[in-house]
Amino acid sequence: MTNKLTHFDDGGNAVMVDVSAKDVTTRTATAKGRVTMQQATADLIARHGHKKGDVLAISQLAGIMGAKRTADLIPLCHPLPLDSVLVTLALAEHESAVDITATCKTSGRTGVEMEALTAVSITALTVFDMCKAVDKTMQLTNIRVVYKEGGKSGTFIAD
């Protein structure tokens, strides 16, 4: 791990990191997150009773679309050709929550952690947006990278 922030030059100016000297390798990242909610909201999602439609299916699609737009949202993020984006949602009814996992894959010179994190974040935001009329207490929690593979830094697996 480096002690230097990579998105600033020696003069303190913001820069997009030059990755041109890096090898093209297969890179994968997985991120997770959770939306907690009232039990009645989880029940509404489970029985597909929301008038806006299937909350989980729409949120899943939004997450995939979000991953593809990451470089448009994060100023110094490289635009990447994504080989795969997989977003899964699981309703943890006994915990009144939706668990989100996103895995992104590319063959490139830089990692896809930001794409996986964006996919989870946009998915969670969409769940919130679709359900906010019935539950203003929802919380987006524990969004983090849990797995990363490829590139010079190797494999990372969260505890």
**Any idea which residues carry the catalytic annotation?**
129
Structure tokens at 94: 């006994």
Q: Environment class of residue 19 by beta-carbon count within 10 Å: exposed (0-12), middle (13-18) or buried (19+)?
A: middle
Q: Which residues contact 28 (CB under 8 A, 6 or more apart)?
A: 103, 104, 105, 112, 147, 148, 149, 150
Nearest to 108 by CA among 26, 28, 29, 30: 26
Q: Which amino acid is at 46?
A: A
Report yes or no: 31 and 144 within 8 Å, Cβ to Cβ.
yes
